[in-house]
Amino acid sequence: MGLGKLTDEQLDILGEVANISMGTSATALGMMINQKVNITTPRIEVINRSESLDDYSNICIFVQIHYIKGLEGNNILILKDHDVKCMTDLMMGGDGSNVEGEITDIQLSAASEAMNQMMGSSATSLSSMLGIPVDISTPEVKWIDVESVKIFERMFETNVEKFVKVTFRMEIGNLVDSTMVQLYPENFACDMCEKFKESKLQAKDTE
């Protein structure tokens, strides 16, 4: 699998940024569902757009995040249907076991609130790492059949073929041990790396 334009240094930066920002997200989610949420060190790779859904079967939940300040563009989180149902059941006072049937509008609404909190926390930690204000719009949450790749294609406002894929293992108490994927276009990743390096240089200059 080719690594496209990204250097080893950039991949290391993306790993560090993902680790810190998603760790903050996990803490925010844990507070909402009153469970310990662990997210492991991410795996970073560069993939073709067509490979984006290879880890998923049947139904998955897409969360689209638009950056409205600090970074330009958007990225997507992909979660398994079962995991989102478990999270939203916990948010609504259940024990996390109500995961049968198709996901409902109420569950999607709860998932949207959870993702808003998680990605808002992530944006705050990105702000401090990149040294610039970073803000997002309310995330869009949709469920899609993995076969419905056309829906997936429309979610990115870009025709870029290479994407950075960040894979996390996510554990929620003893209820979920699963995979969560974050995807963003390669040019977005390069932009984030540049801002990260600029921030580090400015920090050194002020020491």
Q: Which residues pair with 184 in a beta bridge?
A: 164
Which tens digit of pLDDT belongs to each residue from 105-134?
A: 898 899 999 999 999 999 999 999 999 999
Does pLDDT of 150 surpass 90?
no
Instruction: Find the farthest-apart pair of alpha carbons in the chain and give their distance in angstroms, rounded.
Output: 57
Looking at CATH, the fold of the domain delimited by 6-200 is given as Chemotaxis protein chec (3.40.1550)
Q: What is the DSSP letter of 50?
A: G
What are the residue ranges of helices labelled H in the chain?
8-33, 81-91, 105-130, 149-155, 186-205
For Cα atoms 139, 101, 53, give the angle at the middle one, nearest 5 degrees: 50
For residue 148, name the pLDDT band (cuts at 50, 70, 90). Answer: low
Q: How far is residue 105's CA from residue 109's CA, in Å, rounded to a whole number?
A: 6
Q: How far is residue 151's CA from residue 130's CA, in Å, rounded to a whole number?
A: 32
Query: What's the pTM?
Result: 0.84
Q: Which residue has the higher pLDDT, 204 or 173?
A: 173
Which tens digit of pLDDT belongs to each residue from 71-116?
A: 998 888 989 889 999 999 999 999 999 899 888 889 889 999 999 9
Token pair of 117 as six digits: 């909190």
Q: How far is residue 29's CA from residue 49's CA, in Å, rounded to a whole number?
A: 28
